[in-house]
Amino acid sequence: MAALLLLLVVSSLSFASIDSVQCTPESHSHVHIVYLGHNNGLTPSLTTRFHLQLLSRVFAELDEARQAILYSYSYGFSGFAALLNSTQATTLSESEEVISVFRSRMLQLHTTRSWDFMGLSLHLQMEQPSSQMHLKYGDDVIVGILDTGVWPESKSFRDDSHLGPIPSSWRGTCVGGQQFDPATACNRKLIGARYYLAGIESELGPINTTGGTEYRSPRDRVGHGTHTASTAVGAVSPNASYFGGLGRGVARGGAPRARLAVYKVCWFKDLTGRCSDADILAAFDDALHDGVHVISASLGSSPPLAPLFATSTEVGSFHAMQLGVSTVFSAGNDGPDAAMVQNVSPWGITVAASTIDRRFPTVIALGNNASVVGDGFIVKDMEMPLVESSSVFADGTCSFDQLVNRTAASGKIVLCFSTIGMVSSEGAALAVYAGGGSGVIFADTSSRKSNQDNFLPTVHVNLRQGTKILNYIQSRSRQRPTVHISASRTVVGKTPAPAIAYFSSRGPSSISPNILKPDITAPGVNILAAWPPKSSPTVLPLDKRSTEWNFDTGTSMSCPHVSGIVAILKSVHPTWSPAAVKSALMTTAYVHDDTSDAMLAGGTMKAADAFDTGAGHVDPLRALDPGLVYDADARDHVRYLCGLGYTEAQVRQMVLPSPALNTSCAGAGMPYGVSDLNYPAIVLAELGAAATVKRTVTNVGLRRDAVYHATVVSPQGARVAVWPPALVFSPRCAKAEYYVTVTPAKLSRGRYDFGEIVWSDGYHRVRTPLVVRVTNLPDAGAQSTDEDGTADHPHAA
């Protein structure tokens, strides 16, 4: 699976407590990030001077501090990256000015039918009660992509006079470099490009640029950044296809009229993509200075164990949110195991991956005239001998270390099974290639089966089909088994969709289980988008093919789908906060496939739940008119940080000041639990007694006079009451509060149960997921509720 989710290794985090003292540098320095909160309104030069002054406390000479510092983050937030040993890092962490110090980790890469599948067709107008809302497709919204760079010559990023001049709010630049001339690379579509090397080169040494291995510039060598950028905001490009046939159609991004700014933070090194926390945070800082409206980052950390503000993504997205910039992240590719979701901070939008209704059926005709239909990216017919893996590999696992009979594989199609040794299709294809084989039939469980370009022609079948092929091979003891594989076809609308991809990382959050993660799901399987022709489809050195459009799979692909939708929402609703945008996406999402059955969770053979899908599958048209939104302001963030245990001094450093804002935890309405954050989902991960949470909704519908009624589906292990049962809005009263009381009814023994609260005015349907894990049964009886789950009198907050 290609896709670009980026895995971070474990880091350490310390909180400020006492004055620091100068220490003698030790050997073995590594890149650390020192996070200081917001920049207190200082100019960049004054901020940098302060950073240097703080850093000099742990160096004997000021010049040594100057040499150690790599980045000074001075616009969107305050902090710096520097080469420090563990003693210096610990000393700085004890300074009262410091929120946290953490090791900059190395990240690894994981990794256009989808828009029509979601109902976002070109030239679409959305009918509204009493008016029409014209989709702007991201007009003049600037989307920043943090990834592997861009291939500027792609049709997806061509200059377009219909876009008009570059928005006057843009303050960024187009940085030149190796094979990247700003005069020809940047235009009215691709308006900015930067690249970042200080962090990765300080840890791993210089980037190798010989022979086109990489480009010391914003130019994309890996292909991943080009793919994600074109998925989010790519221009309309007719007649796009994979090698002249598969997936043929009009390729475009979700917001084709949005502008693109590229921040290259990931590099091709040691045959994989690598990124540095220090470089990522520098890109966040520049993006916020440049004036982007949306940040799309198909990267993240391994499931976090440390507190928040211990990664570049958490720090960067927190300050982006405060400046009105939405940040969209991929959820990770570590499914289907539980609690592996990444990017779990509540201020980012975390996106899971799901399928679309397009497949590529490939007919496999056996020598006995029997046939099965698998899936593949086969571009031309193949006919040749067929062997089973045990004829080629010692234990039949289709793995390199078991390859013993190259003669048996030479010029043949090899049948491999994933269940023997849990070999992936990529590993099997490379092992068969090493043995001289010409192709692979790869049998896997139905829930895991998915297409992938493995360089060697590969057809995916389920285990039943694989067993049928195996029986045929074993029955031909005197005759050589043969197979004819037909070129794959493109079929749309014949497969129930969406379903959650088996690899998509699941919740709950490992550090904040009372915040639902992922937030939403979007298409992330076999997505066709732009690709650098100098990079092969697999990016393997032995793959010499070239294509301008490539399929890729992963939550890295679902992330830019949501980024494009966010750009559309920003163009239609420019005053909405990041919290309102996220709420619109989550409360309008759906949880059924196109046959009206419950969405399935790939890899588990069960109906998907909120830890698989988040609030559900994104619905871009309904998100434009959600009716109600859960908004969050600075006071909400103060309460949330106080609830996490940050001191008042730390909160003042982290939250942007405003005249009416009280940053005192005592004045924030304490006690305040994490579940009380005004989030468009309610999760009670340790319910031992009746608990009440409060939510505030804002009417953003065209009808200012509206009445919404609640409908409740209680989780299996609890009884739920909502008060009031109806919310009344008027031109003078656009906000309303309601309370949800959840009472344990049945001990779930560690199991999570799922329900929902739906508010409706007869036109809008505002759905809020409700997740409960009962850890103890109460002694007293629960308060009675009506059959619909609404309470008959108020509840205290």
Enumerate the β-bridge partners of residue 730: 733
Instruction: Quickly tell me which residue has 């698989």 as its tokens.
Output: 612
Query: Which of 627, 638, 712 has its CA nearest to residue 677?
Result: 638
Residue 720: exposed, middle, or buried by beta-carbon count in 10 A (0-12, 13-18, 19+)?
buried
Query: Which of 563, 585, 576 has its CA nearest to residue 328?
Result: 563
Phi–psi pair at 443, nearest 5 degrees: -100, 130
Within 10 Å of residue 496's Cβ, how many Cβ atoms?
Answer: 15
Q: State yes or no: is 147 an active-site residue.
A: yes
| H or E element at residue 467 | helix 463-475
- Amino acid of residue 399: S
Which phi-psi region, left, alpha or beta, contains residue 586 (left: φ > 0; alpha: ψ -120 to 50)? alpha
Task: Retrieve residue 61's tokens.
Answer: 């000479």
Within 10 Å of residue 308's Cβ, how many Cβ atoms?
Answer: 21
CB distance 304 to 510 below 8 Å: yes
C-alpha distance from residue 423 to each of 107, 195, 439, 777 (Å): 24, 36, 16, 45
Integer Cα distance of 545 and 549 in angstroms:
12
Q: Which residue among the candidates 224, 319, 561, 764 is catalytic per the annotation?
A: 224
Coil vs helix vs strand at 401: helix
Integer Cα distance of 109 and 257 in angstroms:
28
Q: State yes or no: is 793 an active-site residue.
A: no
Nearest-5° Cα angle at 510, 755 to 17: 130
Q: Which residue among the candidates 140, 147, 279, 290 is catalytic per the annotation?
A: 147
Instruction: Quickly tell me which residue has 């003891």 as its tokens.
Output: 477
Within 10 Å of residue 476's Cβ, how many Cβ atoms?
Answer: 14
CB distance 599 to 609 below 8 Å: no
| H or E element at residue 654 | helix 648-654
Which phi-psi region, left, alpha or beta, contains residue 205 (left: φ > 0; alpha: ψ -120 to 50)? left
Q: Which residues contact 49 (CB under 8 A, 6 or more apart)?
A: none
Coil vs helix vs strand at 193: strand
Query: Which of 119, 135, 585, 539 has its CA nearest to residue 352?
Result: 585
Q: State yes or no: is 556 an active-site residue.
A: yes
CB distance 152 to 189 below 8 Å: no
Integer Cα distance of 215 and 221 in angstroms:
7
Within 10 Å of residue 244's Cβ, how many Cβ atoms?
Answer: 10
Q: How many residues would you count in the chain?
A: 797
C-alpha distance from residue 679 to each of 170, 530, 614, 730 (Å): 31, 35, 12, 23
Integer Cα distance of 278 and 102 in angstroms:
10
Residue 484: exposed, middle, or buried by beta-carbon count in 10 A (0-12, 13-18, 19+)?
middle
Integer Cα distance of 776 and 684 in angstroms:
13
CB distance 174 to 149 below 8 Å: no
Q: Which residue among the candidates 276, 450, 556, 583 is catalytic per the annotation?
A: 556
DSSP assigned state of 294: E
| H or E element at residue 288 | helix 277-290
User: Which residues belong to the active site?
Assistant: 147, 224, 556
